[in-house]
Amino acid sequence: MHIETFQRLIEDIYYEKDKARGLAGTHMWFCEEVGELTRALRRGQTEELEGEFADVLAWLSTLASIAGIDLQAAACKKYETGCPRCSATPCTCG
């Protein structure tokens, strides 16, 4: 699945509820999910990681949608030529 397709799927499932909550409230939920991912990483809970990464991606997608950002276009624009700083792939920044 492409990022664009995933973002549209998350919009279909959650957009109205998340938009009503607003950017700030939705960002708080995103931060909570990042915290859960961090906890799973620190504790070495590999069985939890797949779900936590998916949750973080879903909340990031909904934040982008509320803000009017096409996540796939934004990511491609920033990283299509490699590292945004040195333009190399792999990055050669010191």
Residue ranges per domain, the chain?
3-79
pTM to 2 decimals? 0.92
- Domain 3-79, what architecture? Orthogonal Bundle (1.10)
Burial 19-38 (b: 16+ CB within 10 A, else e): eebeeeebbeebeebeebbe
Q: For residue 29, give the 3-state DSSP assignment.
A: helix
Dump pLDDT digits (tens) for 18-74: 999 999 999 999 999 999 999 999 999 999 999 999 999 999 999 999 999 999 999
